[in-house]
Amino acid sequence: MDKFFHIVTYGCQMNVHESEKIAGILSEMGYKSCESPEEADIVVFNTCCIRENAENHAFGNIGMLKKLKAARKDMLIAVGGCLPQQMNKAENLHEKFPYVDIIFGTHNLHNLKGLIEKKLKMRKTLIEIEDSEGEICEDDKPLRTSYPNAWVNIMYGCNNFCSYCIVPYVRGRERSRDSRKIIEEVRSLVSEGYKEITLLGQNVNSYKGELTFPQLLKEIADIDGKFRLRFMTSHPKDFSPELIKVMAQNPKICHCLHLPVQSGSDAILKAMNRKYTAGQYLEKVEMLKKAIPDCAITTDLIVGFPGETDEDFKATLELAKKVNFASAFTFVYSKREGTVAAKMPNQVPEEVSKARIMELVELINSQTRALSQMYIGKTVEILCEDYDSKRGLYMGRDEYGRMGYFASQKNLIGQFVNVRIEHANGVSLTGEVV
Ligand code: SAH
Ligand code: SF4
Ligand code: F3S
């Protein structure tokens, strides 16, 4: 009889790709993918703990499986990813959800097969959280679900210890993959027909292989075939003129850059341990705009970091106005136990943070809308990614990451399509194939 798996993913692209690796392991074990926990023989939660609401979300959904598990005792529930990797969290999870069968950490993913086999021979919950990162595992055979895009890890972990951030504690120190292995992986993905390659790392600029990050990008861009090349995330402190040059000289590298600034106030940036000032950030942005005038710059912003005053917040608004971000992820600071900022005095009251985030979101939305309006009447090349059955339209993105919708009789998924934009509604564009 067929066995089925269902994976629920939270968090960043890194986790999305890791779920593809989990799916790869489960398919090798003979499981097939299914759409809902009700049909599944194993449900895996791949969790995130970057902010409290990410955690609560996972907790809520794990809690919802209690009834199902009571009715179907032979169904396995596994919880992995960043959440259980936090100090004492695995025990906490076990207490709260005693019916969860396997709890594993970020460094145990590659042994999921072994964990499942071990669990099937025992009654009690199997908890395995490795403290240290160990060697990079090169045996992954991810079951990719994001065609025509393919995610490719180039490095893991983070050494930056921004004072608010839990990632260095749950993902371990920076480890870079071998440059040749990365290039080989991309070459084979391109020959399999993938049209967009996104290189992944918490801080791709600090990639340290035989090649530097700009050299690696250039070699990948030199691979034959038509495909787009993206990378994320870049840390402003390591964003270099060499990288700008490589971006400007290689047409396969998309003219868009995600460059999280977090705040526009020097005092807050210092307290965040970001290692750059607002002025230095703006200088790098200017350098980039000069070399690549059409480059779309996106960012992450946090409001309500401990000690953030109205003046500090104004500086963030000012910086956002100067850069004119194509879009931005905006977050209210969330206290993460074990980080340096969690112990800082002057935590900002919730009402203040809420008012600030609303003002910031309004500004960012107005910038995004204004950029959308400039698209009207223009023809852009969209890589068709999917069919949106609700709208009855195909959708995809242009090289700047802007989403576009269009009608077609033919299935165009995986193809580059020229679309003349007719309507702009907030972030999304609609047009006609030309
Ligand atoms: N490595 C990436 C981002 C990882 S987390 C980088 O350095 O840019 C993604 C975003 O979540 C961060 O850029 C930050 O804006 C936000 N974030 C991280 N920790 C947070 C916290 N404790 N509260 C609110 N937002 C947070
Ligand atoms: Fe977190 Fe900073 Fe590392 Fe990004 S660079 S993952 S924000 S510690
Ligand atoms: Fe979340 Fe872990 Fe990514 S905490 S944002 S899933 S690295």
3-state secondary structure the chain: CCEEEEEEECCCHHHHHHHHHHHHHHHHCCEEECCCHHHCCEEEEEECCCCHHHHHHHHHHHHCCHHHHHHCCCCEEEEEEHHHHCCCHHHHHHHHCCCCCEEECHHHHHHHHHHHHHHHCCCCCEEECCCCCCCCCCCCCCCCCCCCEEEEECEECCCCCCCCCCHHHHHCCCEECCHHHHHHHHHHHHHCCCCEEEEECCCHHHCCCCCCHHHHHHHHHCCCCCCEEEEECCCHHHCCHHHHHHHHHCCCECCEEECCCECCCHHHHHHCCCCCCHHHHHHHHHHHHHHCCCCEEEEEEEECCCCCCHHHHHHHHHHHHHHCCCEEEEEECCCCCCCCHHHCCCCCCHHHHHHHHHHHHHHHHHHHHHHHHCCCCCEEEEEEEEEECCCCEEEEECCCCCEEEECCCCCCCCCEEEEEEEEEECCEEEEEEC
The ligand with the least distance to the CA atom of 89 is: 3
Tens of pLDDT, residues 251-289: 999 999 999 999 999 999 999 999 999 999 999 999 999
Query: If you measure from the C-alpha of residue 293 to the centroid of ligand 3, how many angstroms do you get, rounded to a whole number?
Result: 32
Q: What is the pLDDT of residue 114?
A: 96
Tens of pLDDT, residues 5-28: 999 999 999 999 999 999 999 999
Query: If you measure from the C-alpha of residue 277 to the centroid of ligand 1, how many angstroms do you get, rounded to a whole number?
Result: 17
Query: If you measure from the C-alpha of residue 56 to the centroid of ligand 3, how many angstroms do you get, rounded to a whole number?
Result: 14
The ligand with the least distance to the CA atom of 14 is: 3
DSSP run (H or E) holding 230: strand 228-232
Is residue 337 lining ligand 1, measured as CB closer than 6 Å? Answer: no
Q: In whole angstroms, what is the distance from residue 16 CA to residue 149 CA?
A: 12
Mean pLDDT (whole number) for 58-86: 96
DSSP run (H or E) holding 14: helix 13-28
Mean pLDDT (whole number) for 371-375: 94
CB 29 within 8 A of CB 62: no
Contacts of 273 (CB under 8 A, 6+ apart): 160, 161, 162, 163, 340
Atom of ligand 3 nearest to the CA of 14: 3
Tens of pLDDT, residues 185-233: 999 999 999 999 999 999 999 999 999 999 999 999 999 999 999 999 9
Tens of pLDDT, residues 307-321: 999 999 999 999 999
Is residue 51 lining ligand 1, measured as CB closer than 6 Å? Answer: yes
Query: If you measure from the C-alpha of residue 54 to the centroid of ligand 3, how many angstroms do you get, rounded to a whole number?
Result: 9
Alpha helix ranges (H) inside 303-349 = 310-323
Q: In whole angstroms, what is the distance from residue 160 CA to residue 423 CA?
A: 42
Atom of ligand 3 nearest to the CA of 54: 1
Q: What is the pLDDT of residue 427?
A: 81
What are the phi and psi torsion angles at 299 (to 5°)?
A: -155, 175
Average pLDDT of the residues of the chain: 96
Using CA positions, which residue lies closest to atom 1 of ligand 3?
A: 48
Pocket perturbation via mutation, ligand 1, pick of 50, 299, 330, 336 by most ligand atoms within 8 A of CB: 50
Q: What is the pLDDT of residue 426?
A: 81
Tokens read off for 146:
């994001």
Rg from Cα positions in the chain: 22
DSSP class of residue 324?
Answer: T
Annotated binding site for [4Fe-4S] cluster: 12, 48, 82, 158, 162, 165
Is residue 232 lining ligand 3, measured as CB closer than 6 Å? Answer: no
CB 240 within 8 A of CB 212: no
Query: If you measure from the C-alpha of residue 427 to the centroid of ligand 2, how many angstroms do you get, rounded to a whole number?
Result: 27
Of the chain, the percentage scoring pLDDT greater than 70 comes to 100
| Residue 242 burial by Cβ neighbours in a 10 Å radius (0-12, 13-18, 19+) | middle
Q: What is the pLDDT of residue 320?
A: 98
For the chain, first and last CA: distance in Å?
49
Tokens read off for 339:
């980080």
Is residue 48 lining ligand 3, measured as CB closer than 6 Å? Answer: yes
Using CA positions, which residue lies closest to atom 5 of ligand 2?
A: 160
Residue 392 Ramachandran class (φ > 0 left, ψ -120 to 50 alpha, else beta): left
Q: What is the pLDDT of residue 93?
A: 96
Is the pLDDT at 41 greater than 90, yes or no?
Answer: yes
Q: What is the pLDDT of residue 2?
A: 93
Tell me the pTM. 0.96
Tens of pLDDT, residues 94-115: 999 999 999 999 999 999 999 9
Q: How many CA atoms lie within 13 A of 69 on its CB side?
A: 16
Q: What is the pLDDT of residue 139?
A: 85
Atom of ligand 1 nearest to the CA of 50: 19
Atom of ligand 3 nearest to the CA of 49: 4
Query: If you measure from the C-alpha of residue 49 to the centroid of ligand 2, how many angstroms do you get, rounded to a whole number?
Result: 13
SS3 295: coil
Q: What is the pLDDT of residue 85?
A: 97
Query: If you measure from the C-alpha of residue 16 to the centroid of ligand 1, how many angstroms do you get, rounded to a whole number?
Result: 16
Pairing status of strand 393-397 against strand 379-388: antiparallel
Query: If you measure from the C-alpha of residue 262 to the centroid of ligand 1, how many angstroms do you get, rounded to a whole number?
Result: 8
| Residue 425 burial by Cβ neighbours in a 10 Å radius (0-12, 13-18, 19+) | exposed
**Residues with C-beta less than 6 Å from any ligand 2 atom:** 158, 160-162, 165, 167-168, 202-203, 235
Of the chain, the percentage scoring pLDDT greater than 90 comes to 96
